Amino acid sequence: MSLTLQQPPFPSHISKKKKKKKNAMTQMNQMYQTTISSKVANGFPPKTLKTKKNSCKELVKNLTLEEALVEYEGRVSEKECCEVLEILGEEHLLLCCVCFFQWMRLQEPSLVTPGTCTVLFPLLGKGGMGDEVMELFRNLPSTKEFRDVHVYNATISGLLSCGRWKIPVGLAWSYVCRYEDAWKVYESMETENIHPDHMTCSIMVTIMRELGHSAKDAWQFFEKMNRKGVRWSEEVLVALIKSFCVEGLRRQALIIQSKMEKTGVSSNAIVFNTLMDAFCKSNHIEAAEGLFVEMKAKCIKPTAATYNILMHAYSRRMQPKIVEKLLEEMQDVGLKPNATSYTCLISAYGKQKNMTDMAAADAFLKMKKVGIKPTLHSYTALIHAYSVSGLHEKAYTAFENMQSEGIKPSIETYTTLLDVFRRAGDAQTLMKIWKLMMSEKVEGTGVTFNILVDGFAKQGLYMEAREVISEFGKVGLQPTVVTYNMPINAYARGGQPSKLPQLMKEMAVLKLKPDSITYSTMIFAFVRVRDFRRAFLYHKQMIKSGQMMDGSSYQTHQALLETRPARKNKVWSSLLGMIKSKMSVKVRRQKDEFWKFKKRQVRKNSSDVSV
């Protein structure tokens, strides 16, 4: 099979974006077939492989890059190459970007310039192609032209965008971190005596935060850069404020903001958003509101993210009316609410138990009515709302709708849905959801497994509950005391106390120390079957371990013992006596810190009182 490529000559000037995109897509199609076959097997991240196959069906498989672009040799400028790279990046055709860049390098004279590097490297970084970024950077010409701060900034920025990628290694998964590579590029920049600028400082402060350096280290790095003549800028301010806010150093972040404003660097919306988010996360919403007022007073226009931060904070406080007011205000100032905005409203209504008017569901429908597509978080918030109201059937319907729309449930979604049917006592659906979760290879958390254990155990499915506990180790988790308390409670209420000692042995193997709830349940189980000797033994162990039941538990055990009298049984009498004695023990209060300075009140005799 042969194919004749009839392509128009590459225009010297591209006036319209449509024409520009058409020429770029022609080259993209020709490059695709020769690159994708050799790159798929190399373990690239998923984003890199999202290409359009339909447009390549009519191409010859053996078409090479040189053959596809032979007509354009000597007729393409640097500016046009940058435009092609940008459009290929918009289409997520990053492999094609790399091949086109290699073709540019082979031209005489070479079309690779610092400008093309600043376009390509960040694009590759966003696609997780850190290896390609490093390889292309190392192979750049060693001329003075490429020893430019903008090239280094683009390389470091690309590696920062890569972050941590999860890649398959054999039968397991491994994480590749690019922050160390970015730091090495910066060190090579210092070695080459290339003067950094404010963008270098901003990017490196962000990388330091990602590498786990403290905010103090970031500030010292900034002072070092400042001594080198790096000017203060909005980008540097944003990076520093973020570093301090992440560590909860909100007051220090405000001091830095004030200090930079004195030097002429004004705060932008991103700075205020970062500060407001930090105060909201620490439950200081009033301070965040104050920053919001200050932001308006300085004529800084709030963004959608600004309102979303406040709405999320009030959603956590279960104040949906305030969320609605913020949503209306957001629209009044000309901002368009997004899925996050409506998700805050759904969550605010969903956390309230009295959902008789189905306000959360109404907010969800309103979001769809205005043309906003629900996200994963929107559906999870709706499912949680149904969970709180006990509407498990509607929760499952929402889950099915979510899947039909092509939205893959997260572990938070599965955990919320499992909790719905645990509360409803529907073990069959609980099992169904768990199997679906395992088939989709979604790794559970400790909370997820505890919900499953409790749900199965309460319905008498002890084997299934034990199976879930065995799954803990397979995903690298260890059962907790709370995990074991659930089957212990189920066996106790199910009248099977003989299974309890085995669970206690398993806890000892895992070095889990039983708490007062564990012992209380064990004592309750053996008293119910009139095995007072074992009940006495576990009560003795509880006292020896320093644990103590609360008053209501002691009252319950006393009432249970008195309804099953065995007055001639010495163990029964001893156990009842111990429980009664513990009921009279009061919890020792902590002394007031000023108790030693209090004056003793001297009681006066009646004879000392003058009449």
> Do residues 423 and 442 share a domain?
yes
Residue 462 scores a pLDDT above 60: yes
Selected residue with higher pLDDT from 439 and 23: 439
In a domain, 438, yes or no: yes
Flag whether pLDDT at 48 surpasses 80: no
Residue 182: predicted pLDDT: 87
**What backbone torsions phi and psi does residue 233 show, to the nearest 5 degrees?**
-150, 170
What are 159's two structure tokens?
A: 């590696």
- The span from the CA of 282 to the CA of 250, in Å, is 10
Kindly report the pTM of this predicted structure. Answer: 0.71
Q: Residue 181's closest CA among 165, 158, 147?
A: 158
Q: How many other CB atoms sit within 10 Å of the CB of residue 67? A: 13
Q: Is residue 24 part of a domain?
A: yes
pLDDT of residue 76: 78
> Do the domain assignments include residue 399?
yes
Residues 14, 93, single domain; the answer is: yes
Residue 64 pLDDT class (50, 70, 90 cuts) = low
User: Which of these three, 361, 382, 405, is where a domain ends?
Assistant: 405
Please indicate, yes or no, whether residues 7 and 87 belong to a single structural domain of this protein: yes
Overall average pLDDT of the 33-60 stretch: 36
Q: Do residues 49 and 101 share a domain?
A: yes
**Per-residue tokens: 182:** 């970015």
Q: Compute, in degrees rounded to 10, the torsion defined by CA atoms 333, 339, 340, 345.
A: 80
In three-state form (DSSP H/G/I as H, E/B as E, the rest C), the secondary structure along 413-465 is HHHHHHHHHHHHCCHHHHHHHHHHHHHCCCCCCHHHHHHHHHHHHHCCCHHHH
Question: 391 and 319 in one domain?
Answer: yes
Under a CB-based contact definition with an 8 Å cutoff, are residues 51 and 32 in contact? yes
Which sign does the torsion angle of CA 444, 446, 450, 456 carry?
positive
Residue range 290-314: mean pLDDT, rounded: 93
Residue 335: pLDDT band by 50, 70, 90 thresholds? very high
- The reply to whether 360 and 452 lie within a common domain is no
Domain count, the chain: 4
**Higher confidence at residue 49 or residue 91?**
91
Q: Is residue 252 part of a domain?
A: no
Structure tokens at 404: 């039909």
Question: Which residue is associated with the tokens 């969320």?
Answer: 323
CA distance linking residue 425 with residue 459, whole number of Å:
7
Among 405, 420, 435, the domain boundary falls at 405
Q: Give 304's pLDDT tier (boundaries 50, 70, 90).
A: very high
In a domain, 263, yes or no: no
The answer to whether 137 and 174 are in contact (CB under 8 A) is no
pLDDT confidence of residue 404: 92
Same domain (yes/no): 329, 399: yes
* Cα 235 to Cα 211: distance, rounded to the nearest angstrom: 19
Within this chain, do residues 6 and 106 fall inside the same structural domain, yes or no?
Answer: yes
Same domain? 461 vs 358: no
Q: How far is CA 591 from the centre of its chain?
A: 42
Residues 6 and 68 in one domain: yes
Can you read off the two tokens belonging to residue 60?
């010859």
Q: What pLDDT is attached to residue 62?
A: 53
Interatomic CA distance for residues 517 and 132, integer angstroms: 56
What integer best gives the mean pLDDT of the chain? 78
Asked if residue 80 belongs to a domain, the reply is yes
Note whether residue 535 is domain-resident.
yes
Q: Is residue 378 scored above 90 in pLDDT?
A: yes
> How much is the pLDDT for 69?
72
Quote the CA–CA distance of 547 and 378 in Å, as a whole number.
43
3-state per-residue secondary structure call for 137-178: HHCCCCCHHHCCHHHHHHHHHHHHHHCEEEEEECCEEEEEEC
So what's the pLDDT on residue 470? 80
Share of the chain above pLDDT 70, in %: 75
Residues 462 and 398 in one domain: no
- Give residue 329's pLDDT: 92
Would you call 52 helix, strand, or coil by DSSP?
coil
pLDDT, tens only, 137-152: 888 888 888 888 999 9
pLDDT tens figures, 465-475: 888 888 777 77
Give the range of the structural domain holding residue 561, as residue numbers without chain letter. 499-580
In a domain, 537, yes or no: yes
pLDDT digits 0-9 by tens, 13-37: 334 444 444 454 454 444 444 343 3
Q: Among 372, 405, 438, identify where a domain stops.
A: 405
Residues 508, 433 share a domain: no
Distance CA 418, CA 68 (A): 54
Amino acid 349 reads Y
User: Could you write out the three-class secondary structure of 90-106?
Assistant: HCCCHHHHHHHHHHHHH
